[in-house]
Amino acid sequence: MPKTCSLKGTTGRPRQKGSAPTPKPPFSLTTRALPPVLTGLSVISLDNRSGSDILVRLLGPSAQTVTVPDGQPFGARVAVGDYYVLVRYGKSPSEYLFDKAGPIPVTETGGKHSVVHITLQRPAADNPKAREEFYKGQ
């Protein structure tokens, strides 16, 4: 004789006819709604006024590398912490100039995030230490 299944029971799972009901687990599950933990709501705003596109490396808790077109602003969402900004100006290796800024503190106090504005202008001279750090990624 074929076995038949019934959808009756406490677990919602099919059980074979004539078998004992599935026992309830010895624990109970409850869910609690917790406020969301949001990180990276602060912004480092980069405004490129250099005359050419630039490559920017943000070093810190939310490290990123971005290209910022000339005359355009760019906002990088970041977590709280100290940041260094390494910038490569120029279109070809023969004209590259490097610069560095920082530490730039990003804080969130009382549930409010920070917006840090940085205007980037082409430096008069190359910064050899910034060049070395840019390529090392440190």
Domains of the chain: 42-136 (2.60.40)
DSSP state, residue 31? -
From first to last of the 138 residues of the chain, give the pLDDT tens digit. 444 444 444 455 555 566 666 555 444 444 444 444 455 688 999 999 999 999 999 999 999 999 999 998 999 999 999 999 999 999 889 999 999 998 999 988 887 888 899 999 999 999 999 999 998 865
What per-residue confidence (pLDDT) applies to 39? 55
- Which alpha helices (DSSP H) does the chain contain, by range? 128-136
What per-residue confidence (pLDDT) applies to 14? 56
Tokens of 133: 């750090």
What per-residue confidence (pLDDT) applies to 20? 61
Tokens of 61: 């808790």
Residues 75, 61, 103, 95, CA torsion sign: negative
0.85 cut: is pTM over it?
A: no
Residue 51 · residue 124 · CB < 8 Å:
no
- Classify burial at 134, counting beta carbons within 10 Å of its beta carbon; exposed 0-12, middle 13-18, buried 19 or more: buried
What per-residue confidence (pLDDT) applies to 40? 62
What per-residue confidence (pLDDT) applies to 54? 95
